[in-house]
């Protein structure tokens, strides 16, 4: 069981971004949130210490907003339930780079990003290999006056999509059935977790520790 804290992640961010965009090796781990700053065009943000604003992840050489976590494998999928007054359910997706570094990408359980990404991961599972390498793409779309984030799972340039969950979620949204969307997403996360056969990690975004855990 691993307890991960953003407060411990003090080593160079550029090193890990380079690794996940296809660059050099790094042993740094981080929490990555999706679309945390609404008026920014960036999509991947690193969580900072409590009370500090998240920082947009940039490509190490071009300085452009990072939009792809390249050549990653899926380690775990879990649901984070804070149990506070806001009850903001999150899906935590643990990814590993080709060099062995792990990060956790987190987003609201019922967001468009989570719906599209979990659908893509289920498509991987249906194809027989949920542990193969893939690219995780993220971009901002347009929905009225807002720009929600969407995600895609790509293998060799081909976008993965599970038509069954896509239709179920589309129908639930059309009916305005938010509870149904949540149930579908919970089921999807549980199916992926069971397929990976891992022991769920205890994940917290606000616990302060003295150093990066040894397994990073």
Confidence class for position 52, pLDDT limits 50, 70, 90: confident
Is 25 a member of any domain? yes
Phi, psi of 166 (to 5 degrees): -60, -45
74-126 pLDDT, tens digit each: 999 999 887 665 568 999 999 999 888 999 999 999 999 999 999 999 999 99
**Nearest Cα residue to 138 out of 149, 128, 124:** 149
CA atoms of 117 and 209, how far apart (whole Å): 31
Residue 180, C-beta contacts closer than 8 angstroms, at least 6 positions apart: 172
Q: Domain tally for the chain?
A: 1
Is 97 a member of any domain? yes
CA atoms of 39 and 31, how far apart (whole Å): 21
Q: Supply the range of the domain harboring residue 22.
A: 3-203
Q: What pLDDT, on the 0 to 100 scale, is given for residue 123?
A: 96
**Tokens standing for 116?**
């599209």
Is 159 a member of any domain? yes
Is 109 a member of any domain? yes
Is 210 a member of any domain? no
Q: pTM here? A: 0.78
CA atoms of 89 and 176, how far apart (whole Å): 18
Angle between helices 112-126 and 178-196 (to 10 degrees): 40
CA atoms of 67 and 138, how far apart (whole Å): 5
Residue 181, C-beta contacts closer than 8 angstroms, at least 6 positions apart: 110, 115, 169, 172, 173
Is 131 a member of any domain? yes
Q: What pLDDT, on the 0 to 100 scale, is given for residue 86?
A: 59
- Looking at per-residue pLDDT, the higher value among 212 and 140 belongs to 140
Is 96 a member of any domain? yes
Is 214 a member of any domain? no
Residue 58, C-beta contacts closer than 8 angstroms, at least 6 positions apart: 17, 42, 64, 65, 66
Confidence class for position 32, pLDDT limits 50, 70, 90: very high
């Amino acid at each position: 069981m691993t307890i991960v804290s953003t407060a411990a992640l003090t080593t160079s961010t550029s090193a890990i971004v380079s690794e996940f965009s296809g660059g050099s090796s790094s042993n740094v781990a981080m929490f990555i949130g999706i679309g945390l700053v609404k008026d920014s065009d960036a999509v991947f943000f690193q969580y900072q210490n409590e009370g500090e604003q998240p920082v947009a992840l940039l490509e190490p050489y071009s300085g452009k907003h990072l939009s792809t976590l390249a050549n990653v494998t899926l380690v775990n999928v879990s649901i984070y339930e804070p149990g506070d007054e806001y009850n903001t359910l999150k899906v935590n997706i643990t990814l590993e780079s080709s060099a062995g570094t792990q990060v956790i990408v987190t987003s609201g359980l019922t967001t468009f990003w989570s719906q599209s990404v979990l659908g893509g991961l289920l498509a991987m599972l249906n194809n027989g290999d949920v542990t193969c390498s893939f690219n995780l793409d993220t971009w901002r779309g347009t929905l009225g006056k807002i720009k929600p984030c969407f995600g895609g799972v790509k293998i060799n340039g081909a976008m993965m999509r599970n038509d069954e969950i896509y239709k179920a979620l589309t129908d639930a949204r059309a009916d305005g059935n938010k509870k149904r969307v949540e149930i579908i997403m919970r089921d999807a996360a549980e199916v992926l977790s069971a397929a990976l056969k891992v022991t769920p990690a205890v994940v917290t975004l606000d616990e302060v520790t003295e150093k990066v855990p040894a397994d990073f």
